[in-house]
Amino acid sequence: MKLLVLYDSRSGNTEEMAKAVARGAKKVEGSEVEVKKVDGFDAKSLEGYDAIIAGSPTYYGEMSGKLKAVFDDSVEIHGRLEGKVGAAFTSAGGTATGAETAILSILQAMLVHGMVVQGNSSDKHYGVASVGKPDEKTKKLCEELGERTAKLACRLLGR
């Protein structure tokens, strides 16, 4: 099972979260995990993954323009991500600054592609959000997100 952690980060906070997400995904036997920054990323290559976990800073309650550009460019492969697993995370500058809507903007793009979205019934339902630099608790939540998403992708692949 190939899993991509794709992220944008200006301050390094979202990058730290991406690394924690990847650590969690790597705990799942049979998972091959790649971590890539959006800069120079070719949207067509999304097709080569079974699961995609995307992360972005929160900008005006939305994902960053760089990550949005990847999803915009993915129109060229529209329909070919159907059934793949998706999840999202974000970092924000403070509380009530749009983190949940930023996560939902990522998930919305994934749903338009027909992806299966990984939520969490117990806590952090939409994905993980950090206020500023991720603390140890947030990093643990990121690891759990990566692990849950990888497990779901493996189950859907029959592994």
Residue 159 has a pLDDT of: 85
**Distance, CA of 84 to CA of 111 (rounded, Å):** 10
3-state secondary structure 63-101: CCHHHHHHHHHHHHHCCCCCCCEEEEEEEECCCCCCHHH
Tens of each residue's pLDDT in the chain, 159 residues: 999 999 999 999 999 999 999 999 999 999 999 999 999 999 999 999 999 999 999 999 999 999 999 999 999 999 999 999 999 999 999 988 999 999 999 999 999 999 999 899 988 999 999 999 999 999 999 999 999 999 999 999 998
Contact yes or no for 21/142 (Cβ under 8 A): yes
**Distance, CA of 66 to CA of 136 (rounded, Å):** 27
Q: Take residue 50 and report the two structure tokens written for it.
A: 């079974």
Residue 45: domain span: 2-156
Residue 118 has a pLDDT of: 87
Residue 142 has a pLDDT of: 98
The pTM is what? 0.97
Over residues 102-118, the pLDDT tens digits come to 999 999 999 999 999 98
The total number of structural domains in the chain stands at 1
- CATH number (domain holding residue 149): 3.40.50.360
